[in-house]
Amino acid sequence: MMDIKRRLLPFAGSAIVVLLDRLSKLWIESRIGTFDTWVILPGLLNIIHTENAGMAFSLFADANVVTRKFLLIGVSAAVTVLIGSMLWQVSGRASDRLQQAALSLVLGGAVGNVCDRLMRGSVTDFIDVYIGAYHWPTFNVADSAITIGAGMLLLDLWRSRQPVTQHVS
């Protein structure tokens, strides 16, 4: 029983990411008109309601509907299943906590964005970070979780490649 609980805990983390992502998007959709902007930190951060029919950086946003559905829903769903299976594999090992947390974030973010695509055909983005005229593409909670999780995976990979020093007496 303890093994199942240990395996399911990272999936609970993914569910929390999906819930936070969905709640934040519903809040934005109900309170801010499309392309309306709320200035939060002048010169740095706005909240702006946008709809992204494409993927990261609006790639494939202008593609035909069939291509978008196949690429953005089909491939995303397949990758989500792959990430979920990877998380299941590492969730039983106490030594892989960083990897578990990272995969949990990536899975939650991926599921959040796939749900948007399935329900609406686009993803609601609303976090607009910029410095002067230099804007980062608008993103959301799911995108943030994916990015943080990917960074944690890189850190885990780097840590696992560090040489072990042995002291010779």
Catalytically active residues are 125, 143
- Which residue intervals of 32-124 are DSSP H helices? 65-68, 76-90, 97-120
Report which of 44, 56, 59 is spatially closest to residue 125, judged by C-alpha positions. 56
* DSSP character string of 12-79: HHHHHHHHHHHHHHHHHHHHS-BT-EEEEETTTEEEEEEEESSSGGGTTTTS-HHHHIIIIIIIHHHH
Structure tokens given for 106:
């990536």
Please state, in angstroms and as integers, the Cα–Cα distance from residue 80 to each residue in 12, 24, 64, following that order: 15, 21, 23
Q: Alpha-carbon distance 96 to 129, whole Å?
A: 33
